[in-house]
Amino acid sequence: MTKTAQPEMDERLRALADAFDESRAMAVLRALCAETLSGRGVGTPGHDLATELVLTELRALGLEPSRQTFPVAGVFRLDSPPVFTVKGPRLSGSLEHRRDYAEHPRSAPMYAAVEGPVARWDGTPRTGTWTSIDRVPQGDAFARLAASLHVAGGLGLLTPQTPDASGFLTKRVIGDAPVELPVIAVRSDHLAEMDGSTLRALVPLRRGAVTGTNVIVVLPGSEPALSNRPVLVTAHYDGVGADPERHFPCAGDNASGTAVLLEAARTLVAQRFRAARPIVFAALDAEEVGARGSRHHARSLVAAGYRPDVVNLDMAGKFNGAVAADLGPETSTIRDVLDQAGRMLGIPLAAGPVASDNRQYASAGLPAVGLGLGAAHYHSPLDTPDRIEPSALRMAGRLLLVTVARLATDATRETGHQKNLGHPGSQHNANIA
């Protein structure tokens, strides 16, 4: 790129970034957080409504999105409101689900209420007793403990869980294989007060296989020779799902990322942006249950001979001083372009973990970077639209647009001659270099 072309490119990219409309992104975010979508848990009717919402938004742009379906095994949900009643000298009454106790992801099924005394684990399994433990054994030791209690005729196992900053016990929707005994997580301070009490509990988990759906749309590139080297923009649209008696909007995680993705797609279409490389947008599914959608998508890309540069956005609801960038292997080109975009727009970047779908693409051998700003609460009922910062959506959208547009415009990496897209002599942001 010549010195003359560089200012023209920068001006074009700034205009593209300025066209991002955070009010539109917020409207999409609110729609994704509606109670009728029931937390967008994969395999639920509300989740199906979310899929249709994403498809509708893309079709409204004149695009033709496709569905990519895949099986998701081991998903669990609460069938009905749980019950947890304690009678004891230090703690007595009906405890509140999600604040005082929660389902444990490794619990065996519970088909009816179970009542019996609570005793702290002392190394001896007891018949007809709920056993409480102060610490959760790691690895196979947890399953072995549950098996020994089951053989002895134990009623169930109570494990400690600490509330997060919202005061809720974090909703967990994935875990290893279930053990042989019912398991319930209890707020740590309450668990310490339950020794010698009588507990009546029913936490009815239902497990099964469901179908996940990725929604994918392509903005074609101008160079046919680069059709197998697209720029891939991803964000997961599924959430942790609702409780029977409580809504989880899942606004920051990750309606925010999905709303930014959809508004970025709208901006590129509205601005008639066309680049050498195709730009692919993928609203991914089943991230909350082990990043199954990105795993399936990454493997299908590799099998078909595609090698995209991947930029994933997870949580863009709150700015905490810098945008975190999780740099996977072989991402020097994405890093360079991302760094240039951050300095152009005055957006600070810092290397940091973004443990999301980007890592599935990286594991498949693709260059992938994860971006994250943050959310006010995580896997909590308080992850609501009113806690989303529109300015954070705008920051994420502007950074994403400039990064993706520059990656798609510059085709020199396809010939093996990578170059710095910044001004001559410019330096990287030391935080991400």
Beta-bridge partners for 323: 349
Residue ranges of domains in the chain: 5-75+209-415, 81-203
Rounded CA separation 256/28 (Å)? 9
Identify the DSSP state of 254: I
pLDDT of residue 139: 85
Bridging pattern class, strands 205-219 and 66-78: antiparallel
pLDDT of residue 96: 98
Identify the DSSP state of 109: P
**C-alpha distances out from residue 157 to 27, 136, 177, 201, 334, Å:** 44, 10, 16, 11, 48
- CB distance 363 to 315 below 8 Å: no
pLDDT of residue 9: 82
Helix (H) / strand (E) containing 351: strand 349-351
CATH code at 5-75+209-415: 3.40.630.10
pTM of the predicted model as reported, rounded to 2 decimal places: 0.93
CA dihedral 73, 76, 77, 81 (to 10 degrees): 160
pLDDT of residue 68: 98
**C-alpha distances out from residue 375 to 202, 256, 293, 387, 393, Å:** 32, 9, 22, 8, 11
pLDDT of residue 10: 86
pLDDT of residue 1: 53
pLDDT of residue 432: 65
Q: Nearest-5° angle of CA 229, CA 232, CA 237?
A: 160
- CB distance 52 to 181 below 8 Å: no
Residue type for position 51: T
Q: Tell me the helix, strand and coil percentages in the chain, rounded to 5.
A: 35, 25, 45
For residue 115, the tally of other CB atoms under 10 A from its CB is 15
What residues in the chain have per-residue pLDDT under 50? Answer: 4, 412-428, 430
Among all chains, which residue has been given the structure tokens 């004149």?
Answer: 62
CATH code at 81-203: 3.50.30.30
pLDDT of residue 429: 55
